[in-house]
């Protein structure tokens, strides 16, 4: 029989190390990737969603606080910026096609960005959400660092925005493939751009799993949508709120 008192003491010792959070995060994601491989890449077996569930389960069972976990896992958070910049590599390889399709891509970017902001503000206000909650929801379709900055500027809650961004990305990565099949969208460029526009980094990661071309267009959409949302949201959100109200 195991000595649970000794196991508890060993866990307390490990929890004091900042490396535990980093190790836990990496192991959870590796396990999630293995599960995804067992499911033959099915969209529902999204590695990010599975890894989040694993980490949440471990933290809940062990009683470890999020602050202690993040003290070690923040290195992964730091790498989010360099990983986003690294998307420039596949973009360069697709430059000829990007130049060829610049007009429809620009139209799709404007339509997607404005629709993402306006739709969530209108629905949230009709459901009676507070201005702070609306500001929190508005930038949910862009990557976390930009979304949190936009939410803070609008008077929202950046930490809640980060959770909503992750949920939006997971939803888009899971259901986008079925939606494209239903709408008979076969172009990798169109699929990738839509995934990056609506599901930011998590959608982009899913796009790269399907094809390099799809991933390149998703990365382009993610970056452009983040920049455009940062410019439009501060004046578009109050304008829509006054119009609906």
Model confidence pLDDT, tens digit, residues 70-121: 777 777 777 776 776 776 676 677 677 777 778 888 899 999 999 999 999 9
pLDDT of residue 163: 86
Token reading at 170:
């997971």
The answer to whether the predicted template modeling score (pTM) of the entire model surpasses 0.85 is no
Q: Express each pLDDT in 119-167 by its tens digit.
A: 999 999 999 889 999 999 999 888 887 888 889 889 888 888 888 898 8
Question: In this structure, how many other beta carbons lie within 10 angstroms of the beta carbon of residue 183?
Answer: 10
Per-residue pLDDT of 10-63, as tens digits, reads 455 555 566 777 788 888 888 988 888 888 777 788 888 888 889 889 888 877
Residue 137: C-alpha distances to residues 2, 17, 21, 106, 160 (Å): 47, 35, 28, 24, 9
Q: Assess whether pLDDT exceeds 50 at residue 1.
A: no
Give 170-196 pLDDT, tens digit per residue. Answer: 888 888 888 888 888 888 888 989 999
DSSP structure string for the chain:
---HHHHHHHHHHHHTSTHHHHHHHHHHHHHHHHHHHHTTT-TTS-HHHHHHHHHHHHHHHHT--HHHHHHHHHHHHHTHHHHHHTTHHHHHHTHHHHHHTHHHHHHHHHHHHHHHHHHHHHHHHHTT--HHHHHHHTTTTS-HHHHHHHHHHHT--HHHHHHHHHHHHHHHHHHHHHHHHHHT---HHHHHHHHHHHHHHHHHHHHHHH-HHHHHHHHHHHHHHHHHHHHHHHHHHHHHHHHH-
């Amino acid at each position: 029989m195991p000595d649970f008192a000794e196991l508890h003491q060993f866990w307390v010792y490990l929890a004091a190390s900042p490396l535990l959070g980093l190790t836990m995060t990496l192991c959870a994601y590796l396990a999630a990737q293995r599960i995804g491989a067992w499911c033959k890449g099915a969209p529902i077996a999204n590695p990010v969603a599975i890894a989040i569930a694993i980490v949440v389960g471990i933290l809940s069972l062990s009683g470890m606080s999020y602050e202690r976990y993040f003290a070690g896992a923040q290195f992964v958070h730091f790498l989010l910026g360099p990983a986003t910049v690294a998307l420039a590599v596949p973009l360069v390889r697709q430059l000829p096609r990007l130049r060829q399709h610049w007009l429809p891509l620009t139209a799709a970017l404007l339509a997607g960005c404005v629709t993402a902001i306006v739709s969530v503000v209108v629905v949230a206000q009709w459901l009676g959400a507070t201005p702070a909650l609306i500001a929190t929801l508005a930038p949910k379709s862009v990557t976390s660092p930009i979304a949190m900055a936009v939410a803070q500027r609008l008077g929202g809650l950046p930490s809640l925005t980060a959770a909503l961004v992750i949920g939006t990305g997971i939803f888009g990565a899971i259901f986008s493939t079925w939606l494209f099949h239903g709408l008979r969208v076969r172009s990798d460029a169109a699929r990738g751009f839509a995934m990056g526009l609506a599901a930011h980094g998590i959608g982009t990661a899913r796009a790269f799993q399907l094809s390099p071309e799809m991933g390149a267009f998703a990365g382009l959409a993610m970056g452009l949508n983040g920049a455009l949302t940062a410019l439009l949201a501060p004046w578009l959100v109050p304008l829509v709120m006054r119009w609906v109200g």
